[in-house]
Structure 1
Amino acid sequence: MSPLLSMMGSLFRKTIRAFFAMMLVLAGIAVASAAQAQGSPEKRIALVVGNAAYQAGALPTTANDAGLIAQTLQAAGFDVIGARDLDQNGLRDAMRDFLTKANASGPNTVVFVYLAGYGVQYQGDNYFVPVDAQIANATDVPVQALRTSDFTKSLAAINNRGSIVVLDAARANPFVQSNQPLAGGLALVDPDANQLIAFNAAPGTVAPQEAGPYGSYAHALAEMIRVGGLSLGDVFDRTRLRVSDLTKGAQISWDASKFNNDFTFFDRGPNAPAAQVSSYDNAAIRTKAIRDFNERDAYFAALDRDTMQGYEDFLAAYPHDAMARRVRAIIAARREAITWRETWNADTPEAYWSYLRRYPRGPHVWDARRRLEHFEAALEPPPSFAVIEYDVPPPPPPEIVYIDRPLLFFDDTDFGYPPPPPVVFLAPPPSDFVVLEPPEPSVDLYVLPAPVFVPVPDWVDPPRDVAPPENNIYFNNIHNTVVNNTTVNNTTVNQNGAAPAAPGLTTGQKLGAAAVIAGAGAAAMHVALPPSVQKKAAVLQKQNPAPAAKAAPATGPAAAPAVQPQGGNAAHALPGASGQPLLPAGKLPTNQAAPQAKQAQPPQAAPNAVQKPAVAAQPAQPGANPAAHALPGSKGRPLPPAGNTPAVKGQNQIAKTPAPQAAPGVQPNAAAAAPKPNVRNQTVKPATPPVVAKVPPKPKAVQPQVSSQPPVAAAPPRHVNPPPAAQPKPAPRVAAQPKAPAPKPQAQPRPQPQIQAQPRPQPRIQAQPRPQPQAQPKPQPQPQPKVMQQRPPPAPQKAPPAPQKPPEKKKCGAPGLPACQ
């Protein structure tokens, strides 16, 4: 070999060795990077939406269900954002915000999505319905609702550890009440790679309506998430068994998974008790043949597996069992869902003709016809076409009866009695998780309700190698009851405001938990809103601050009048009111702060008291306030002009106001006898002294006084002292008068005799149901001066003036005339 060739061979060997050395270095760097990524803590993020306030019909539990699931995920270390009652724009913005967050979270992230509300299926796709949706026709669904497959495919395209999507939306919806209805429930779907999709009810079936406070599916899912050490598949398998137990077989949940990574919500601690159901934890139970179980356990074994093969094995082993009809209905719904899924995937006229031939009255008939119209194909297939052979055989005749129903529930009596509890496959629920207290109603816009947190068992540990978000109160206190930022550990409230943190946490996490509980505030316990929804809520609160304005009157002004009178009315407080002492009988209340004019005036509540005979004739009650009946001229009060003498309390009202003579045979008019507030001002003379001898004086005519007001027909005269047998006379009918200005008081008040100091004897008309006069003995005469009192101007009345008799001269009782008998 020549030296040249030997040199070239040596160089070639050196080059090869250098190349392999460089490859080894690169491989080491890649392994180190992978190890570093593998050693980094896992991140968990979640989106939770609970739509309840639908315009088409509200749902009672979905908002609470979302709050319960969000709280459970927070305890498991998830960074949760969520909202309730989102409209179409709000729902789209929230999903876009979450996709942005998932993209920025990194490859070591697990994603959880929970949507509770109304869900519909349309032409093979599932749609989640916002609260403002108006779906009158089937074609409105793609416009008014959001297609969930668009969202799930976007999640699957993100490089992360996996995603979990839960649709708690299979319900009987109030949309599309036409003769071309939508198929019931949700459509069967295939999850994408490294993804799990779950429904609250099996495809093609709907969950029954529940009153609350929580739905059975959310209740069962939250319970199983809190069990330490369960894999993701076991969580949803046990949820299906618990949902069947809670609803007495009326609801069967469903899930399909391609989630390949190991995942547990909580870890199982070293002090965990022995399994209460030993056979369930046996790995061989899933491979055990259905026929090897007894009748009761065979049904739950098939339900636990939830496969077509498992249900068919049950019918083959126990065709006459009480659960056989229920299993046939489950198979019928699953077979039809698989058939329609393959038809939709093929999406050809031959596929839709094949479906219509197999299910001529199936739930997806109208979807198949709409697709045929899209292809401009005839509804009836040609005589010869290639019939599609589906993966499942055609339904046997016993199954058709279930498929022809518009909605398929499992609570029908046709399915036999409810299944018993799955005692062999599922342990009873924890005693503190059987009945859950309803959460406080959320008052903030879009904020999810926050239920009362139930601590997880002591043997359940928080997940290892998880980076929880900051200020996560529930994750740091999974074994404690969290109430208003105060943790309760073993029914003892810690005085420092922070409970011992969950075991397995670092010192920094424990210190952070204590700081959060001490001063984070109640907002830390609520689920954060998505950024776009938070901005929308802030704008709406600025535009409509009605809740804050409504709270003020209930706390401030409503209670103020009971404590402090307004407008200075404390100076006019009545005795006995608001704790004031009552005055002794016969004494006047003195009020130095009130003006004299206010004391002399009668109360405003009864301005016409002196004008009503029934009121003026009442005797003074002991302890009554005489100031209400003060006479003009007392305490500086001006006297009215002459000719307007009022009725003076203490005088006989019969002697002051003459009544008209009643016509013979005419009954007294009750309406005419009622006191009138617009009686014209008249001069009332004081009572005449008693006549000892019954010698009639000379007759003297009494002329009525003339006032400045328009003329009114004068009342006929009457006897001063009517005989005892005389019939009561009706009150005078006074014609309506226009409103006239009150006369001005005189400049010089007349001296007022001391009438106020001594109470006057009252006429004997004390208990009168009517103002008509009754036969009475003569009153005791007392000399009284003429006292003039100004009356308020009469109010105009619409009634026409009644005809009045002409005034007659008195024939007795006047000076110079004999006394009336």
Structure 2
Amino acid sequence: MNITSKLRLACITVLSLIMALVSTSPTRAETEKRIAFVVGNAAYQASPLATAANDAGLIAQTLQAAGFDVSGARDLDGESLRAAFRDFLDKAQASGPGTVAFVYLAGYGLQLEGENYFVPVDAKIASAQDVAVEALRVSDYAKRLAGLPLKASFIVLDAARESPFAKSGPPLAGGLALADTEPNILLAFNATPGTVAPSEPGPYGAYSRALTEMIRQGGLQPAELFDGVRLRVNEETKGAQVPWDTSRIAAPFVFFERAADAPAPALAADRIDAMRSRPLQDLGSHDAYAAAIERDTLQGYQDFLTAYPNDPLAGRVRALLAARREALTWRRTYSVDTPDAYWSYLDRYPRGPHASDARRRLSTLAAADTPPPSYAPIVYDIPPPPPPEIVYVDRPVLVFSDPVFDFPLPPPLVFLNPPPPYLVFAPPPPPVELFVLPVPVFVPVPVWINPPVYVAAPANNVIFNNIHNTTIINNSPNVLNPGGPGRAGVGAGVAAGVAAGAIAGAAAARVALPPSVARRAATFGGPGAQQLRPGQPGEPGAIPPGAAPAARLPGHNLPAHELPGTMGKRTPGFGQRPGTAPAGPQGTVPSPAAPVGQALPSADKPVHGPGRHPQNQPGPLPGAHALPGGQQIPAEGSAPKGRKPGANTLPALGQGPMNRRPAGQFAPRNPAVAPGVNGRPWTPPGPAMAPKSQQLPQHAPPQFQQQRAPQPAFQQQRAPQFQQQRPPQQIQQQQQRPPQPAFQPQRPPQAQQQRPIPKALCGVPGAPPCH
């Protein structure tokens, strides 16, 4: 072979290696899109949860830092939850191949006849028959995700909790059902099948904290990551909660990459590998227990009991083995789905967690509960439970913290380091917006942790652009720093003002609502609607089913609605301008903004001056009418400054559907407003007296205005008093006046000022009679 041939062969070899590397590792040209759907249902009518909404907000923020385009919400009813899930599936389908999808559901989960369900906040589940109608079957959406050309999908159910539902009739099996996952999907539960997590006071659950820690650790493949989650949760809950997962993700995936000079991770992978290669009897009981929890297999638990049958930890491991054996037995039974299969299960577990499910299926299949003498039992691939296990599964649900078992506390895990000290989970501020997830203060990611370079940066993700900053708005492309110089370091946005930056960052860091949920929120006052009044379901402005207690603040918000004379346009709800979403400080009711053609008085200060108060905000208009909440609709002929009389503004109360009136017509007089005396409005005695800021004089007819003394300008602009009583003298004068036509011609605003003013009063108390 000559030199030319050798060079040619070497070039071909180098090119082949380059092409192989390009085909096996993603590049910037082959970007990876990441999308996520996060739900935290806490405000259940049956029994509220303390941590579910906060857990969802924490996971949503963690996924945002990893480059996910996150949409999510809290406290969704059945209709909103189904619509939001459809929105996400449509988004995943439009995202195209190579997309990674992540679904996190925190709330109550139920299992029925081998299927897992996620419960909306408004669900009314009195018995097992209501589960399939009221709750969402998770497998339906998992199959939809599996049918899309996605790179990988994660479905995480933080929902295995003690259930307050189905208290009548045969009980439901507790916790979640062991399930077979679809291709390219990882399915994870916060508690092993057939068990439930203990109740936690908050602000976050152990599962969401552990999942956040392991995602932010960086460099972990999906199976390794959820192994670390299981170990951390088991350690923090003292063995009361052991998560579970199963994965069929084949493609390589990491949430973050870890730099070579990074300190030792929390999960010591080298020690785990060394322990996996050794028999459990060679590790000692403490290390063997940790190894069994890390493996989380039927064989691993059986190996521990074989090596250490009399160890104090044997009871805890035996309970885990019993729950897994029963769950696998039921999964096999349900997959066969024949009367012989259900009779076979009842033969092994006559009072087991799924005994009621087996009898329900037999009834559906028109078979008797008792098997005939000639039935053929099915063959299970696992042996029947030994007698010591029956005590743990002879009940609907296994609770590891049950004092009846008196399990000893498990030892510390030797290959799991403590959580990093910088990862502090501060409670988030209480949510004040309908459906919006509570977002905690962001803890920066260490500089040795970075998202992979091939991740496509989602639009308007301020956290992803600032994962290393002490504040999430330092270098973010926001109103303070549109350019956004980069991810790391402290940018020039801080110099523009910390207070303004915090506002901009908080607005940008919020989790976007799914489109259908955002539209539903708009019907209750728009995004950012802090004030919802109690009411009957379906009543305009009433709190929807499942609204969080934090949304039930003083005041009320009425939804957008059509009014006569607006040409079919919808006016914004109370407390919002068109296209805006006012938000006040936590614990306060923001001052409402007035739509065009309306004026809203200040809630804490009276109106001063002709149409203005000291903060130069629009004051009440003359002739306005009062509405609940302090709104005022100007009367005909008293349009605001800059608007022509008769313009298309909101009509006065009692008027027809159109605001423009034919010439020669007159506006009806409002008899509920009394005249002023000596420059001051008359106020009736008794508790019905209203504050001055709600008193509004009307244009009196000519007969009375010729007898009225001149009044200062600021008293001609007082706010309306709708319930004001008239003195008996005025009632008598009104009865003696000739009847007035139905309408009065429109006068320009200056007409009242051009009338001659009498020099003396007459016909009122304390004045001579009129002649």
Q: 1:31–1:229: structure 2 CA closer, same or farther, 3 Å change rule?
A: closer
1:559 to 579, 595, 604: 604
Q: 1:486–1:37: structure 2 CA closer, same or farther, 3 Å change rule?
A: closer
2:58 equivalent to 1:68: yes
Q: How far has the Cα of 1:324 moved from its partner?
A: 0.7
**Aligned with 1:186: secondary structure?**
coil
1:358 to 348, 360, 364: 348
Partner Cα distance (1:341, 1:745) in 2: 96
Residue 513 of structure 2 aligns to which amino acid in structure 1?
A: L
Is the 1:299–1:314 Cα contact (8 Å) retained in structure 2?
yes
Matches within 5 A, 1:461-472: 461-472=450-461
Partner Cα distance (1:36, 1:341) in 2: 38
1:219-272 C-alpha deviation (Å, 9 max, x unpaired)? 110111000111111110010011111111110100001111111110011321
Partner Cα distance (1:365, 1:164) in 2: 31
Is the 1:325–1:415 Cα contact (8 Å) retained in structure 2?
no
Is the 1:497–1:518 Cα contact (8 Å) retained in structure 2?
no
**Aligned with 1:481: secondary structure?**
coil
Matches within 5 A, 1:87-486: 87-274=77-264, 280-281=270-271, 283-413=273-403, 414-422=405-413, 424-433=414-423, 435-482=424-471, 485-486=473-474
Residue 487 of structure 2 aligns to which amino acid in structure 1?
A: A
Query: How many pairs does the alignment contain?
Result: 535
**Aligned with 1:482: secondary structure?**
coil
Q: How far has the Cα of 1:560 moved from its partner?
A: 2.0
Q: 1:265–1:35: structure 2 CA closer, same or farther, 3 Å change rule?
A: closer
Partner Cα distance (1:225, 1:274) in 2: 15
Is the 2:266–2:420 Cα contact (8 Å) retained in structure 1?
no
1:186-208 C-alpha deviation (Å, 9 max, x unpaired)? 00001111110000000000011
**Aligned with 1:225: secondary structure?**
helix
2:513 equivalent to 1:523: no
**Aligned with 2:575: secondary structure?**
helix
Partner Cα distance (1:277, 1:140) in 2: 43
Residue 76 of structure 1 aligns to which amino acid in structure 2?
A: A
2:487 to 490, 495, 502: 502
**Aligned with 1:540: secondary structure?**
coil
1:279-325 C-alpha deviation (Å, 9 max, x unpaired)? 74563332322112111111010000100111111111111112110
Residue 548 of structure 1 aligns to which amino acid in structure 2?
A: G
Residue 203 of structure 2 aligns to which amino acid in structure 1?
A: P
Partner Cα distance (2:47, 2:608) in 1: 46
Q: How far has the Cα of 1:419 moved from its partner?
A: 1.2
Q: 1:744–1:81: structure 2 CA closer, same or farther, 3 Å change rule?
A: closer
Q: 1:49–1:746: structure 2 CA closer, same or farther, 3 Å change rule?
A: closer
**Structure 1, unpaired ranges of 5+:** 1-26, 489-494, 508-515, 567-594, 599-603, 606-742, 748-821
Compare 357-366 and 381-390 and name the one that shifted more: 381-390
**Aligned with 2:463: secondary structure?**
helix
State the TM-score, normalizing by the size of structure 2. 0.64
Q: How far has the Cα of 1:341 moved from its partner?
A: 0.3
**Aligned with 1:432: secondary structure?**
coil
Residue in structure 2 matched with residue 618 of structure 1 by the alignment: none
Q: How far has the Cα of 1:210 moved from its partner?
A: 0.8
- CA-atom RMSD, angstroms? 3.7
**Structure 2, unpaired ranges of 5+:** 1-15, 492-499, 527-539, 542-556, 559-573, 577-588, 594-599, 612-676, 687-764
Q: 1:517–1:163: structure 2 CA closer, same or farther, 3 Å change rule?
A: farther
Query: Hey, which bits of structure 1, 4+ residues long, moved more than 6 A?
Result: 30-38, 495-500, 516-519, 553-556, 595-598, 743-747
Is the 1:477–1:500 Cα contact (8 Å) retained in structure 2?
no
Partner Cα distance (1:420, 1:100) in 2: 47
Q: How far has the Cα of 1:88 moved from its partner?
A: 1.1
Q: 1:91–1:123: structure 2 CA closer, same or farther, 3 Å change rule?
A: same
Partner Cα distance (1:160, 1:357) in 2: 42
Q: 1:36–1:254: structure 2 CA closer, same or farther, 3 Å change rule?
A: closer
Identity score, percent: 57
**Aligned with 2:102: secondary structure?**
strand
Residue in structure 1 matched with residue 622 of structure 2 by the alignment: none
Is the 2:186–2:245 Cα contact (8 Å) retained in structure 1?
yes
Partner Cα distance (2:352, 2:169) in 1: 14
**Aligned with 2:145: secondary structure?**
helix
Residue in structure 1 matched with residue 561 of structure 2 by the alignment: none
Matches within 5 A, 1:612-651: none
Is the 1:185–1:203 Cα contact (8 Å) retained in structure 2?
yes
Partner Cα distance (2:385, 2:146) in 1: 34
Q: 1:305–1:553: structure 2 CA closer, same or farther, 3 Å change rule?
A: same
1:363-415 C-alpha deviation (Å, 9 max, x unpaired)? 11111111111111111111122112211111111111111123211113424
Residue 392 of structure 1 aligns to which amino acid in structure 2?
A: I
Q: How far has the Cα of 1:744 moved from its partner?
A: 11
Partner Cα distance (2:679, 2:30) in 1: 90
Partner Cα distance (1:106, 1:284) in 2: 40
Residue in structure 2 matched with residue 536 of structure 1 by the alignment: 520
**Aligned with 1:473: secondary structure?**
coil
Partner Cα distance (1:451, 1:102) in 2: 27
Partner Cα distance (1:596, 1:184) in 2: 78
Partner Cα distance (2:603, 2:184) in 1: 61
Residue in structure 2 matched with residue 548 of structure 1 by the alignment: 575
Is the 2:601–2:607 Cα contact (8 Å) retained in structure 1?
no
**Aligned with 1:402: secondary structure?**
helix
Is the 1:498–1:517 Cα contact (8 Å) retained in structure 2?
no
Is the 1:85–1:131 Cα contact (8 Å) retained in structure 2?
yes
Partner Cα distance (1:271, 1:499) in 2: 27
Q: 1:50–1:745: structure 2 CA closer, same or farther, 3 Å change rule?
A: closer
Partner Cα distance (2:255, 2:37) in 1: 16
